[in-house]
Structure 1
Amino acid sequence: MAKKWFQALTLTLALTAVSAPHPVLAGEKPRESRNVELQLAPGDTIKVTTYGLPALSGDFVISSEGTIAFPLVGNIKAAGVKPSAIQETITAGLASGYVTEPSVAVEVGSYRPIYILGEVGKPGEYPYSLGLTIRDAVAKAGGFTYRANEKRVYIKGAGEDDEHPYKLTAGIPVAPGDTIRIGERYF
């Protein structure tokens, strides 16, 4: 009788271990949500339009130093600032002796791409678009594979050294330059 009781207890423990969710590693706490603040960074492209002066209009890629080289104005800090601040800097630079009453518009042309790795249909690099969420990004990458852990996602932000775990909910935002990894589930 004791042998059967021991076998039943062992079977119960084994089934409990198999049905447990993905183990949390030491120090790893899945986050519920993520705040994303869009800032320009190296690799992003901005579109500058100077009305009436097509020679002073065009697309500019933010350099690795975080600047753009604008004609007549010189190098302008673009990384970490908003397009409106770049617009003000260009307008002030042109107004200081080059153009009377310049009218300048600055908008984001394109952000850095995102990268999706792991258990998705087509891992790789994908273009970033405003309002992109993790679920949207996974859909772009061909959806989850049959081995995917659909409850947790790992995100490494641009410029960060480590990836962070998040509970996979519908509204987790993606930022330009993010690397998203969908892990493998156990059983």
Structure 2
Amino acid sequence: MTFARTTRGATIAVAAIAMAAMTGCSGYRPAPKSFQEATIQPYRLDSGDRLRVTVFEQQSLSNTYLVDQAGYIAFPLVGSVPARGKTIQEMESIIAGKLRQGYLRDPDVSIEVANYRSIYLMGEVGQAGQYSYVAGMTVQNAIAVAGGFSPRANQSNVDVTRKVNGRVITGRISIAEPILAGDTIYVRERLF
């Protein structure tokens, strides 16, 4: 009787643990549509991006500028220019407009991203940390840069945290999916 009661208690405990694990898994919700759409939208600038700004026939204004922690670049003549959340084309128009206000008659401004803000890898990778982002990078590329998967890693999908329309969202995606500058990638441990 005692053996049966102990076995029954152990079975109930194992079942409870299994249910808790499955409940945790079933509580997962995929990221909203905007999470995936962010990878095909025009690139939005943020802190940490380094911009190469060229003002044609104005060597003194052409240089590289860092988007600071507050989301601005310090541009000669016009001062602080808001960059956070802007596209490259929007920044070109903003700077050209400010230069037209008493500095240059018809400025021709061209901007490109010289260095993207970093990505971050955590969890079951060879070397967790901060890494340089390259345009077109996938999760798999990022994991390779971080030394590959650890022996315990779940190698089919990862959790990515990204800023979308000013909101921070986390979603689970496959390792073949593209990532964006500023993303944080978390490689989970596999269950079995």
TM bin (shorter chain): 0.7 to 0.9
Which residue number in structure 1 is paired with residue 59 of structure 2?
A: 54
- Residue matched to 1:42: 47
Paired letter, 1:69:
A
User: Residue 27 of structure 1: CA displacement?
Assistant: 2.4
Contact 1:152 1:165 survives alignment (8 Å): no
Q: Does 1:166 align with 2:172?
A: yes
Give secondary structure in 1 for the equivalent of 2:36.
Answer: coil
Decide which of 121, 128, 131 is 1:123's aligned counterpart: 128
Matched residues in 1 for 2:124 and 2:131: separation? 16
State how far apart, in whole Å, the 2-side matches of 1:84 and 1:167 are.
Answer: 29
Higher helix share: 2
For residues 88 and 165 of structure 1, the distance between their equivalents in structure 2, rounded to whole angstroms, comes to 34
Secondary structure, in 3 states, of the residue corresponding to 1:138? helix
Of the candidates 75, 83, 88, which is equivalent to residue 78 of structure 1?
83
Picking from 96, 101, 109, the partner of 1:91 is 96
TM-score relative to the length of structure 2:
0.76
CA RMSD of aligned residues (A): 2.9
Per-residue Cα deviation, 1:140-170 (whole angstroms, up to 9, x for no partner): 11211221111231111247666x3424242
**Counterpart secondary structure, 1:130:** coil
Sequence identity, in percent?
36
SS state of the match for residue 87, structure 1? helix
Query: The residue matched to 1:157 in structure 2 has which SS?
Result: strand
TM-score, normalised by the number of residues in structure 1: 0.77
The corresponding residue for 1:151 is 156
> 3-state DSSP class of the match of 1:125?
strand
Query: Is residue 118 of structure 2 the alignment partner of residue 113 of structure 1?
Result: yes
Give the distance between the partners of 1:161 and 1:89, measured in 2 at CA: 26
Greater mean alpha carbon deviation, residues 25-34 or residues 52-61:
25-34
State the aligned residue count: 170
Structure 2 match to 1:185: 190
Letter matched to residue 121 of structure 2: I
Give the direction of change, closer, same or farther, for the CA distance of 1:161–1:56 in structure 2 (3 Å limit). closer
| Contact 2:120/2:131, CA 8 A, preserved across alignment | yes
- Give deviations 1:109-167, integer Å, cap 9, x for gaps: 111100111111122111011111111111111211221111231111247666x3424
Q: Secondary structure at the match of 2:93?
A: helix
Cα distance 1:175–1:167, how it changes in 2: closer, same or farther (>3 A)? closer
Q: How far apart are 1:30 and its partner, in Å? A: 4.3
TM-superposed CA distance for 1:39, in Å, is: 0.7
Residues 184 and 65 of structure 1, relative CA distance in 2, 3 Å threshold: same
